[in-house]
Amino acid sequence: MVENQVMPNGLHAGSAASSVRVSVGNEAAWELLDGLLTLWLEHESPEDKLQTSWLDDDFGGSDTSEDVLPVLCHGPGVVGIFKPAGVTTEEAVRQLSQQLGHRRHMPKPVDLHVVSRLDHPTSGVLPLGLGAVGSAAANWLGAQFAGRLVRKEYVCLCEGPSLGLTGFQGNVSTPLHTVELDGGRASRTEVSPLGRQAFTGYEVLARYMPPSSSDLSLPSHDREPGVNGHDDERGREGRELMLLRVRPLTGRTHQIRVHMASIGRPLLGDLTYGAKEASVLRSCPRLFLHARRVELRDLAGKPFVAEATLPQELGEVLVQLQHIAEPGAAAAEARAMGVDALTKVLSKRTPKTRKGRKILKLREPQIVEDAKTALVICGNKSSNDVSNMLKDLHSALQAHVGSTLRRNLLDMQEFNVEDFKSMTKFKASTKEAAVGSKPLVIFQGSAFEHDEQLKRAKSLLLDFFGAGKPDQVMLSGLDQVVVCTAVDAMPTAGSSSSVEVSAKIHVRRYRLLMKKSGSKLPRAEVTEIGPHMNLSLDRTKDPDKDRWKMAIKMPKAAKPKKEKNVTTKEMGKRVGKFHLGKQDFNSIHTVHHGESKKKKLKAAVAANSAKGEGANEAATAPQI
């Protein structure tokens, strides 16, 4: 009978789901909760069902008064609001409940269930259940939090010794014990073996230089130099500010603040577990802890994701800080981004549909990138030859040629254009190239191999003229040839021989025609079609070493796999080697004939020998 059926609440269901999640996995835990959700919905009261039915009407208005709490997103049975700093969770829920009741002209506030709390000085996403205690929404959300199936993400700024380079990940799993103070009106959490299990994972998003003011030093939890509060060089040395992305798996009171302080990295502006003064930075007005993202499921079983951007007062703190220069590729990547680490990392979009995942997959770095694009900028003071050259090539070679890495300038070279001839001066240039054809780019001259500047110029020109590396070449599609010749420039008459003269690059473009030759290989004829120019290298900007290593780094998937005992010659011919051991005929298996074959062989040998003896006797017998 249903009347006698025991109805589990959200806490009991979440505890069972947590055990299933640990032993079997998340999918089995969700299957358990889905079955209980059906049971909760069947016994839902009419009043709770009514609240989810008029949800869109309440949150779809355009009320922008100051007393309205910002609603980030909503769904069946759940709503995500933005809780500002300096407001308790209970006060925020009371305000929203009164707002909803006022809009619905109800005599009493709307029932909202608190499934998770944020500290008084913490801002960010606060999920709420639309229903009273014991409703389907309250049990459903409570079961997800108790079963540790909710993904929460925080952003915090802590101070102390370096945790590692940008991108470093770690975790803290010490048990926490909460003690009530002042008759239950306050509480304090500390690390204790008698406490409950807690787990906090973190990732370093950015590193900043500490300020040079006299209020730098913070009390250290690792008994490091500077704990006595004196502002000496030993206290500053080795300390920095770190922006972290934190993902707590459990939800203990003050968990993130206590865990980070326990490893000697207290949060900025934490007056309870961190500094005794107002803050390390005088410009930080409050605790630097923000709940950025919460991901769970609504009553319909669909993903519910609520995100809150960083408040303005915390963003202004990051603007005033200076990034720490990191050695190696990590620093080069951070500098190449050219944006704040928080915006760089936290702006990653999570796809929700198959089409969205496909689009974001195409935007990711590919093993084999597409053909590069050129940005042509013609200055007001550029010569007619340069302007005509850009028009002729249709976004072609300009006076300044450079490449970019992650939207920042990687290197640049400036060329002087001489002996320019436009395409209009060549009759063969009237015929357009076939769609999809790729030019054959030829670099000739020993200077391209030993001159570092010309090596860089060769790379730039190849990126500019080349249209990707094809897998196969069809002769009928090969109709253009671009020839770049490096010519060592000779000093002009009257100039000193000690003056260094840069080499010139002759750029010529030809039309290639394939005609019959009476053999398998066609006869190739070339006709110059322009543009015709000579380039002399002027000013250059070499790339940074770290960023250049990033630019030329080849992923493992793109590296050719080595074949054992197979080598490839310069002309593409493959040669294989076979390694044989020592040949011992005594141990090698040979063919053995049967007994019958042996008898026949012996008989044949005896017959041949008998014939030979008879012939010899006849030859020696005397004639009568």
Using alpha carbons, list the distances in angstroms from residue 595 to 149, 176, 598, 599, 606.
Answer: 81, 90, 5, 6, 17
Query: What is the rounded distance in angstroms from the CA atom of residue 49 to the CA atom of residue 33?
Result: 19
* Sequence ranges of the chain with CATH classification 3.30.2350.10: 11-57+64-212+237-344
Nearest-angstrom CA–CA distance, 16 and 144 = 11
Distance (Å, whole) CA 72 – CA 77: 15
- Among 95-99, 309-313, 354-358, 548-552, name the most confident range: 309-313
* Structure token digits, residue 392: 């002729």
pLDDT value, residue 229:
35
Residues 432-450 have a mean pLDDT of 80
Strand boundaries in 165-288, DSSP class E: 169-172, 176-181, 186-191, 200-208, 239-248
Rg (CA), the chain: 40
Q: Which helix or strand (DSSP H or E) is residue 527 part of? A: strand 523-528
493 vs 350, higher pLDDT: 350
Termini Cα distance of the chain: 138
Q: Which residue has the higher pLDDT, 500 or 507?
A: 507
Inter-CA distances, 171 with 158, 174, 244, Å: 15, 10, 12
d(CA 578, CA 138): 73
Q: Is the pLDDT of residue 227 over 80?
A: no
What six digits make up the tokens of 609? 């020998």
Which of these, 165, 201, 202, lies nearest to 334 by C-alpha position?
Answer: 165
Positive or negative torsion for Cα 180, 181, 185, 189: negative
Task: Please tell me the distance from the alpha carbon of residue 295 to that of residue 485, in angstroms, as a whole number.
Answer: 60
Q: Residue 226: is its pLDDT beyond 60?
A: no
Query: Which of 268, 245, 246 is closest to 341 using CA atoms?
Result: 245
Question: Domain 11-57+64-212+237-344, CATH 3.30.2290.10 — does that match?
Answer: no
Looking at the predicted structure, is the pLDDT value of residue 100 above 50? yes
pLDDT of residue 5: 56
DSSP string covering 389-444, please? HHHHHTS---SEEEEEETTEEEEEEEEEEEEEE-GGG-GGGGSPPPTT---EEEEE
pLDDT at 3: 47
Backbone angles phi, psi at 463, to 5 degrees: -65, -35
Mean pLDDT of 508-533: 86
pLDDT of residue 540: 85
CA atoms within 13 A on the CB side of 290: 22
Q: Which residues are catalytic?
A: 119
Mean pLDDT of 14-21: 88
Quick: pLDDT tens for 115-167: 888 998 999 999 998 888 888 888 999 999 988 999 999 999 998 888 888 88
Residue-wise pLDDT for 342-386, tens only, equals 554 555 556 667 887 888 777 776 777 666 677 777 777 777 777
pLDDT bracket for residue 296 (50, 70, 90)? very high
Mean pLDDT of the chain: 76
DSSP secondary structure of 451-499 = -HHHHHHHHHHHHHH-----SS--GGG--EEEEEEEEPPPPPTTS-TTS
| Pairing state between β 440-444 and 480-487 | parallel
Query: How many residues does the structure list for the chain?
Result: 624
329-337 and 545-552 helices, crossing angle to 10°: 90
pLDDT of 1 reads 36
Do β-strands 176-181 and 186-191 pair in parallel, antiparallel, or remain unpaired? Answer: antiparallel
Closest CA to 143 of 167, 119, 164, 116: 116
575/420 Cα distance (integer angstroms): 47
Q: Is it the case that residue 289 has pLDDT exceeding 90?
A: yes
Interval 180-200: pLDDT, tens: 877 667 788 999 888 898 999
DSSP letter for each residue of 66-130: TTSPPEEEEETTEEEEEEPTT--HHHHHHHHHHHHHHHTT-SSPPPEEE-S---TT-EEEEEEEE
> Chain centroid to CA 42: how far?
45
CB neighbourhood size of 342 (10 A): 21
d(CA 280, CA 290): 18
Rounded average pLDDT over 247-254: 90
Q: ∠ CA(253), CA(342), CA(160), 5° rounding?
A: 60
pLDDT grade for 280, boundaries at 50, 70 and 90 = low
